[in-house]
A and B are shown apart, each in its own frame.
Chain A
Amino acid sequence: MKSSHINAQIALLPAILIALVVYCGTTGWTIWISFTNSRMLPSSVMVGWRNYLSLIGNERWVVSVTNLFVFGALFISAALVLGFLLAAMIDRHVRAESLFRSVFLYPFSMSFIVTGLAWRWLLDPTLGIEKLAHAIGFSWFHFDWLVRPDRVIYTLVLAAVWHAAGLVMAILLAGLRGIDGEIWKAARVDGLPVWRTYISVILPMLTGSFATATLLLATSVVRLYDLSVAMTNGGPGVASEVPAKFVMDHLFERANVGLATAAASTMLVTIVAVAAPWLYYQQRGRRT
């Protein structure tokens, strides 16, 4: 063994430790706890699937999961559509291009806490835009979605789209700029109208960028926590609860570690089921 290779092994030690202890170790531990009757203190009494069964019967968990899917579907599609529109328009050689780009992307630099608090204020049912509408004469205007259990999740979508549409725009714009200019010339010679070129020629060429953007958005959906905390704190009632918040609350406030870890494990399994084939596909694609 050459000495340089030993150095290489040593250099990887922190990463290996982190991977083994933190990623594998804690994951295994979490899964194990989820089969015990741990409440506030850890316990090693195995209770089988009991935590999972109570999870399924837990109304707050059901709401959280439903919310996550509704939020995820709406947020990802809205952010992709808006981001693509913005990218395509900016790509049409507009004036003040960099100004527009900066304006669309700046929310992404801010935290979900800041985003949540800003939108919470804007949508405040008494002092927010409803009052503004009344002040300028639209007395019929009514906007109290932030405190309506059946609508509150859409306000989270609104804030999240505001936060992330610029990200999609930036990724797609980079993709658009990478497209050979001769494609456009060919489309013009073929007499394709601009919008048609975007739909039939450019869009299929951007699948890679769309995949990247979707992946980033999906990751933030799964991790959705801060936004809900800052904007509604899960309310009104449990109407805007999300799984990550369910886990955190049961870990640290409600002292039901068994249930919390069962919820976390459920999240993990779902993610792995979705991400593993994708990663595998990616790896293979890179090799060939």
Chain B
Amino acid sequence: MSTEPRGKRPGRPSIGSGNEPSGRRPQKMTTGRFGLYAFLVITAAFFLTPLYVMLATSLKSMPEIREGNLLSWPIAPTVAAWVKAWSTACTGLNCTGLQVGFMNSVRILVPSVLLSISVGAVTGYTLSFWRPRGAEILFGALMMVAFVPYQVFIYPLVRIFSYAGLNNSLAGIVVVHTIFGLPTMTLIFRNHFAALPNELFRAARVDGAGFWRIFGQIMLPMAVPIIVVAMILQVTGIWNDFIFGLVFAGRENLPMTVQLNNIVNSTQGEREYNVDMAATMLTALVPLAVYFFSGRWFVRGIAAGAVKG
């Protein structure tokens, strides 16, 4: 490969005698670089395929699904399956569509997100700045729980809840999300506050501010970014929850994921793959929207929730 030196303008006297490289290095596509892009593009195609297939299937009619192939774009795209999934799809004999689950998920989501973030923020703040006795032990216990399978807690919790009258209620599922969101929420707030200069806290104490005023007027305004991160984590986490919704929400409040699974597994009549896929897409829409609109913040959320300890 001849490397003709570039970057010399005509009329400008050349430096040196002749052919040695000068100026900007020529860009060349090496085999390594080509392989790298090929790998990335193929992997990207693999990652996109399920989403594409879901979308294509949801826009097809059943005959086209049976005859055509998986990857083809629908000949006559129709949103009929989406409409059906949203408003008339059946679970058992109940044919009110996913909209019920959607509304339930929203009703669960809003209070759960607010409550879990509030408790986590206060706990994280207290642990980082006030360090009361036993703080280390409490934090250790919280971190331990982050790894423990939920199955260990579920049965006694169901019993406690039914005793307290929280079973199968909106309040119950909100409390459950708060309980199991606590480790991660505490962790990210604690880490955020621990990274702030301790002198700030001291300055506020000298200024006479007490526990809640330091929290509300000094620390919380500085925690806005981490609150956004916490919201992203909790909104996607709670929306995507299946097991708690199944166990604690009760028949009246089943979240969208549970209802989706019921619709897809409903044995009534012939399976309608287009409706199933439309329902699946509908359920995925909220977290996908959060993901695409939050951009780098989503990654920050992963990083914040990932630094255990």
Contact = CB atoms under 8 A, between A and B. Distances in A.
Interface of A: 3-5, 7-9, 11-12, 14-16, 18-19, 21-27, 29-30, 33, 42, 82, 85-86, 89-90, 92, 94, 100-114, 117-119, 121-122, 127-129, 131-132, 135-136, 162, 166-167, 170-171, 174, 194, 212-213, 215-216, 218-219, 222-223, 225-226, 229-230, 233, 243-244, 247-248, 251-252, 257, 260-261, 263-265, 267-268, 271-272, 275-276, 279, 282-283, 286
A4 B123 contact: no
B112 to A, nearest CB: 14
A109 B291 contact: yes
Given A30-B153, A109-B288, A113-B260, A15 B280 contact: no
Interface string B283-300: 110011011100000110
B303 A110 contact: no
B163 to A, nearest CB: 12
A226 B246 CA distance: 11
A9 B146 CA distance: 23
B182 A261 contact: no
Interface in B244-297: 247, 257, 260-261, 264-265, 273, 276-277, 280, 283-284, 287-288, 290-292
Contacts of B125: 11
The SS class assigned to the B binding surface is helix
B148 interface: yes
Contacts of A279: 140, 143-144, 309
Interface in B119-172: 119, 122-123, 125-127, 130, 132, 135, 138, 140-157, 159-160
Contacts of A5: 130, 132
Contact of B265 (A94, A135, A233): A233
B138 A265 contact: no
A82 B44 CA distance: 12
27 contacts: A8-B126, A11-B125, A18-B182, A19-B141, A22-B157, A22-B179, A30-B152, A30-B153, A30-B155, A103-B48, A109-B287, A111-B242, A111-B287, A113-B261, A114-B260, A114-B284, A117-B264, A127-B66, A132-B71, A215-B306, A219-B147, A222-B147, A223-B149, A244-B150, A265-B152, A267-B152, A282-B308
Contacts of A104: 43-44, 47
Contacts of B236: 109
A8 B130 contact: yes
A110 B149 contact: no
Contact of A23 (B126, B149, B153, B210): B153
A173 to B, nearest CB: 8
A3 B140 CA distance: 26
Contact of B132 (A9, A243, A263): A9
A3 B210 CA distance: 8
Interface string B31-45: 010001101100110
B69 interface: yes
Contacts of A225: 242-243
A26 B157 contact: yes
A112 B287 CA distance: 12
Contact of B54 (A121, A131, A213): A121
A94 B242 contact: no
A242 B68 CA distance: 35
A226 B309 contact: no
Nearest to B280: A117
Contact of A12 (B138, B143, B241): B138
